[in-house]
Amino acid sequence: MSNPHRITSDATSATKGWHRSFFAVMAGLALPAMMWLSGCLSERICPPQGRVPVLMPLEVTGYCNCGLCCNWSRGWLGLGQAVIASGPNQGRPKAVGITASGTRAAHGTVAADTSVLPLGTIVYVPGYGYGRVEDRGGAIVGNHLDVWFPSHEEAVRWGRQRMYVRVWKP
């Protein structure tokens, strides 16, 4: 003979068990989702709190520290001091990997035309993440961003993309 009370209590405990695992799964999903939304926990650049960004259509290219991307070369069969390869400052020493702001280029370092996006502008580039304008480049003119990558291969893989970028000017 089955006891109707037992059945009810089994059903209740089964429901409770389901609830418990449901909340465990939700908590497991919510934490990474929150981290992904804030985007900041794993990155060195965060958007300014409480300020609404402007959406700007920009041409976004990738660059790295190499001579091809940053217009420098070495004399003495590639063994000498790095110097600026062309332009008005040709021949002047080049500090490789140091931005116009004096920071060391890293993921999140962005070069822009600083008459459009001044140094210190924070951007969010879809597929790249948060960045800060810390650098300039001779070829970076107008509505153009150059986002830094650790290798030339990755910079080339990014290519040239037109996209809407969230912009927080300083």
Site string for Zn ion, 134-153 (x = CB under 5 A): ------------------x-
As measured in angstroms, the least distance from the Cβ of 64 to Zn ion is 4
In angstroms, the CA 11 to CA 108 distance is 53
The reply on whether position 54 binds Zn ion by CB under 5 A is no
User: Which residue in the set 66, 95, 139, 141 belongs to the binding site for Zn ion (CB under 5 A)?
Assistant: 66
In angstroms, the CA 104 to CA 113 distance is 19
The reply on whether position 158 binds Zn ion by CB under 5 A is no
Interface stretch with Zn ion, choices 17-25, 47-55, 62-70, 80-88 (CB under 5 A): 62-70
In angstroms, the CA 46 to CA 110 distance is 14
Residue 126 DSSP label: T
Q: Is the dihedral of CA 100, 117, 70, 131 positive or negative?
A: positive
Nearer to Zn ion, 62 or 133 (CB): 62
- How, if at all, do strands 82-84 and 109-112 pair? unpaired
- 160: Cβ–Cβ under 8 A, 6 or more apart, which residues? 59, 60, 61
Nearer to Zn ion, 63 or 124 (CB): 63
> Nearest CA to 95 among 119, 62, 72, 63?
72
Nearer to Zn ion, 64 or 125 (CB): 64
The reply on whether position 69 binds Zn ion by CB under 5 A is yes
As measured in angstroms, the least distance from the Cβ of 147 to Zn ion is 12
Binding site for Zn ion (CB under 5 A): 64, 66, 69, 152
